[in-house]
A = this chain, B = another copy of it.
Amino acid sequence: MSTRRETVRQALTGCTGFRSAQDLYADLRAGGSKIGLTTVYRALQALSDSGEVDVLRTDDGEAVYRACDSEAHHHHLVCRKCSTAVEIEGPAVEEWAAEVGARHGFTGVTHTVEVFGTCAECARS
């Protein structure tokens, strides 16, 4: 329950899209905070470890985070331009993944599923 971690969590909660550690650090500094970059990284690490935020990797390997509404397992529909994300569910996909894994004799099957596109907002401009 550190103050800094809470600061980072709130900064992230105020965003609709995925943000990188560097982004959040810049946001916080711009907002007057004296937080250090290392602390932002540590906070995000802790938050994602505890499952409070979701992480994914951009095409160029950068980690981006999001504070989602749902605590349950879900996926994302992410805008390629503004990175805004919508939480989505796909029961059929869950089953398919588990089934395909089992069929090939794999155990402890998990999956990553993300959908990308250009949101209506960005398509306009």
Give A60 Cβ to nearest chain B Cβ, in Å. 9
A119: chain B residues at CB < 8 Å are: 104-106
For the complex, give the distance between the alpha carbons of A113 and B97 in Å: 9
| B96 adjacent to A77 (CB under 8 Å) | no
Give A117 Cβ to nearest chain B Cβ, in Å. 3
A residues 60-100 in Cβ contact with B at 8 Å: 61-63, 77, 79-80, 86, 88, 90, 92-93, 96-97, 100
Give A108 Cβ to nearest chain B Cβ, in Å. 5
Interface size on A (CB < 8 Å)? 34
| A77 adjacent to B57 (CB under 8 Å) | no
Known: A61-B63, A63-B61, A120-B106. A100 touches B77 (CB 8 A): yes
Give A88 Cβ to nearest chain B Cβ, in Å. 5
Complex A-B: 23 CB contacts under 8 Å: A57-B61, A61-B61, A77-B101, A79-B106, A90-B96, A92-B92, A93-B113, A100-B115, A101-B115, A104-B119, A104-B120, A105-B120, A106-B115, A106-B117, A106-B118, A106-B120, A107-B117, A110-B115, A110-B117, A111-B113, A111-B116, A112-B113, A112-B114
A113: chain B residues at CB < 8 Å are: 93, 111-113
